[in-house]
Amino acid sequence: MRIGAFELNEPVPELKDPHVFAMIRPWVDVGSVGTLTLNRLERYLGSTELGKLARPGNFFDFTRYRPTMKNVDGRREVKIPNSIIRYAKTENGPDYLFFHLLEPHSNGEDYTDSIMELIHHFKVKRYCRVGAMYDAVPHTRPLLVTGTLGDVKQIKPVANFRVRRSNYQGPTTIMNLLSEGVDSSDIESINFMVHLPQYVQLEEDYAGASRMIEVLSSVYESIPSDLAPVRRGQRQYRELSATIEQNTELKNLIQQMEAHYDAQLDSEDGKTDEATEPTASLSPEIEAFLTELGGTLDSEPEQ
Residue 301 maps to a domain = no
Q: Where are the beta strands (DSSP E) in 54-199?
A: 68-72, 75-79, 84-88, 96-102, 126-135, 145-148, 161-163, 188-197
Q: What is the CB-side half-sphere exposure of residue 271 using CA atoms within 13 A?
A: 13
Query: What pTM, to 2 d.p., does this model score?
Result: 0.87
Bridge partners for 134 per DSSP = 196
- pLDDT-based confidence at residue 164 (cuts at 50, 70, 90): confident
State residue 271's pLDDT score. Answer: 53
| Whether residue 11 has a cis bond before it, omega within 30° of 0 | yes
Of 154, 18, 172, 173, nearest to 99 by C-alpha is 18
**Contact present, 31 and 204 (Cβ < 8 Å):** yes
Question: Could you give the 3-state DSSP secondary structure of residue 96?
Answer: strand
Question: How far apart (Å, rounded) are the C-alpha atoms in residues 261 and 223?
Answer: 29
What CATH number has the domain bearing residue 170? 3.40.50.10900
Q: Average of pLDDT values for 254-259?
A: 92
CB atoms within 10 A of CB 198: 21
- pLDDT-based confidence at residue 302 (cuts at 50, 70, 90): low
State residue 279's pLDDT score. Answer: 35
Q: Average of pLDDT values for 34-54?
A: 97
Coarse DSSP helix, strand, coil percentages of the chain, rounded to the nearest 5 percent: 35, 20, 45
Residue 94 maps to a domain = yes
Residue 299 maps to a domain = no
**Contact present, 14 and 92 (Cβ < 8 Å):** no
Residue 246 maps to a domain = yes
Q: Is the pLDDT of residue 298 over 70?
A: no
The burial of 91, by beta-carbon neighbours within 10 Å (0-12 exposed, 13-18 middle, 19 or more buried), is given as exposed
Residue 298 maps to a domain = no
Q: Average of pLDDT values for 173-193?
A: 94
Residue 254 maps to a domain = yes
Question: How far apart (Å, rounded) are the C-alpha atoms in residues 112 and 109?
Answer: 5
Burial 129-145 (b: 16+ CB within 10 A, else e): bbbbbbbbbbbeeebbb
Give percent of the chain with pLDDT exceeding 90.
73
Of 63, 58, 61, 171, nearest to 110 by C-alpha is 58
- pLDDT-based confidence at residue 249 (cuts at 50, 70, 90): confident
- Number of domains comprising the chain: 1
Residue 177 maps to a domain = yes
List phi, psi (to 5°) of 267: -65, -40
State residue 168's pLDDT score. Answer: 77
The burial of 290, by beta-carbon neighbours within 10 Å (0-12 exposed, 13-18 middle, 19 or more buried), is given as buried
**How does pLDDT run across 121-145, given as a tens digit for each residue?**
999 999 999 999 999 899 999 999 9
Range of the domain at 200: 2-293
DSSP one-letter code for 56:
G
Q: Is the pLDDT of residue 297 over 60?
A: no
